């Protein structure tokens, strides 16, 4: 399942991504597809897709005036520790 999902994301990105398929540009860096790809590789199919879906739901807000930098959290890292150091 994981290999299929990663292949689908690679295919989506090679064929134009969000701009071509939905006419939108991601508000995040890395893009939502790159984020989801990394999350699936790092956390597995189920958790990675969940993380990607939550990210996609927040993407493309029209009131956003800059790209938000939000990388995939490191596996096993404490999220509260990351927010104080970053």
Residue 79: what pLDDT?
A: 52
**3-class secondary-structure state, position 30:** coil
pLDDT digits (tens, 9 = 90+) for 55-77: 988 887 666 667 788 999 998 77
Consecutive H or E run containing 75: none
Residue 63: what pLDDT?
A: 63
Residue 85: what pLDDT?
A: 41
Residue 80: what pLDDT?
A: 44
Q: What is the CB neighbour count within 10 angstroms for residue 38? A: 18
42 CB-contact burial (10 Å; exposed 0-12 / middle 13-18 / buried 19+)? middle
Residue 66: what pLDDT?
A: 73
pTM of the model: 0.79
How many whole angstroms separate alpha carbon 43 and alpha carbon 5?
A: 13
Q: Which residues of the chain have pLDDT under 50?
A: 80-86
């Amino acid at each position: 399942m994981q290999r299929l999902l990663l292949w689908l994301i690679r295919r989506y990105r090679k064929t134009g991504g969000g701009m071509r398929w939905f006419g939108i540009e991601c508000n995040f860096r890395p893009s939502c597809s790159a984020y989801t790809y990394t999350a699936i590789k790092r956390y597995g199919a189920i958790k990675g897709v969940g993380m990607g879906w939550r990210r996609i739901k927040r993407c493309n807000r029209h009131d956003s005036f800059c790209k938000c930098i939000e990388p995939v959290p490191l596996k096993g890292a404490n999220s509260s520790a990351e927010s104080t150091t970053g």
